[in-house]
Structure 1
Amino acid sequence: MKLGVIGTGYWGSNHARVAVELEEDGLIEEVIFCDLDEDRVTELASNYGVEFVTDYRELISRVDAAVIATPSHTHRDIAITLLSNGVDCLVEKPLAIHSDTAWEIVETANQNNRTLAVGHIFRYHPALQAVKERIDRGELGHIKYLHTNRYSFRVPRESSGVLHQLAVHDVDIYRYLLGGHPDRIFCATNSWIRDDIEETATLTLNYENTIGTINESWQVPVFGKKRELIVIGTERSAYIDYLKDTEFEIFDSRIRREDGEYRAMEEGQTTHETRNAEPLREEVTDFLMAIENDRSPLASGQVGAEAISLLERAAESERTNSAVSVGADQFRMSE
């Protein structure tokens, strides 16, 4: 299989590295880089000893699959062109800025019988996968509450805010862990630096009798870079620091009623180590294996489009300053 990497900026250069490593390991036959910035792609291609082009359309006759790591507003044209011409695609998140565009990309992949994956990289985070396994086995009991913080201190991006850059991960993570969509969303944001680019957002998602909260901000200098998830179950709870790929904590704590009285039972916490795996390499490998085995990748096009649909409901909540319902009509097809 021959793989193209389109976009060699900050994140695209990571994809370039992983692609070359996979080629060296014999998992793909050839890698070709592509970028409009000829100076940048020339330098990167020279460093890795691979070929490059500056027009993604040149890849149609040269590769079997492609990673699209370009700015979000370019995803539609690149993905639809490649998918329509027989090239399987992994598109970085967000799949698109608008849900109509995201579903158009998904439908193009389906119509052309192509594999479409989206860069929801946290589905490949070893610690998150380990916690999901414990949830699925019932070790945490019923999940009552999920809470996420993603904080840093930086200048907001010019193109899109924290909903599409950060919350897109967490609405999908909750979907991944709980196996379903929220019934209702409330969202509040603010923009102080750039007009119409939210730099802080708080979301509350209701899933029947489970509540999920998400806090995202580029304006918090207190913690350095902070990315964490707390999962509260009726039997146990879990904590993940996403900056530690291979570690998570389990808290053996619950509320019990004995002799008519409620007691908080805390029986300690344990730190667990998981397998050592790079999430980005896991993501790309799953994409390649999905193509080879004619199956859906863990982070499929459907997954990516559903996340964008949920973000649009969150944006509507912010505009109307009210909670909005989430219905099945927001999702055009099921996996």
Structure 2
Amino acid sequence: MRQVYFDGEPTPFVDADRRILFCLAGSPPDRNGSDWEGDVSVPAAEAMTGAAIDIYTVPRWQRKRAAGEATPRRGGHAAKSVGASMGGGQVKPQNLAHSPRLLAIFAVLFALKCFERISGYTNSIFMAFAPDLWKFYRDTLDAVCAHDPDIIRNFSAKFSVFSTATFNFGPRTVTFPHIDFRNLAWGWCAITALGNYDPDRGGHLVLWDLKLIIRFPPGSTILIPSAILRHSNTNIGRHETRFSFTQFTPAGLFRWVYNNFRTDKDINTSKHTSAAEHEQRKQDRRRRWAEGIKMYRTWQGDVRTL
């Protein structure tokens, strides 16, 4: 494994063809009276702490699991996802189901200036380092929302092109090695680390397939293709806290738009789907990966190579 010292400065990583595979987005520099730590990352962590106390009844919202009780695939920490969903037998996109009380808590979090700034900064880095992929995400979510006004965005269109978010409440978010197989294969997922921990000693992002261990300081964001890169993060100190805020778009939403707002099953079983259409879809599937990675930007400046 190779260790990567990441100090928060935006840094793209390219493959052998100089395509940007993922990006260490970091955080914006403090200037003109702006203090990212004091104005954004610390308030965001405090807001997640308050939300977790409101959501979970167990002290510190981290209980020991009963013998034989399954541990969630990504890790034993507390987490909630919110936003648009498509997959698992759904016949159309829907907002993830939550009680009115939970939805009110999420609405408060999304309305906070700190999360708005995290989302806006992530959006700008995504657009700068992968403009074609960013446009694909933007156009897809715009199409989904235009087709169904009941779909609720987590943030306004100017702040985010992602449909869905997960609040990993921790309080010690340590994930197992995993891939997010329901995300777009060549798409990016944004991970923002928050909390009070020493990034030189723990909380590192591990990209197992690339054999990289990346220093991941609180308040920083990293964008990775989470559906194809097995990833996790290292442990932190016993009395430290680590939260994360992730943003993504399920692959099902892209399929729904590609299918002209129909499911694969609907098209494949419909008597109105012609043999030519079936053949065209087969050819599209064969080309999809190659067309997808064309959305990665070729970088000519200074970069880190894999």
TM-score (norm 1): 0.25
More helix by share: 1
Return the structure number with greater relative CO, CA threshold 8 A, min gap 6: 2
More strand by share: 1
TM-score (norm 2): 0.27
Q: Whose radius of gyration is greater, 1 or 2?
A: 1
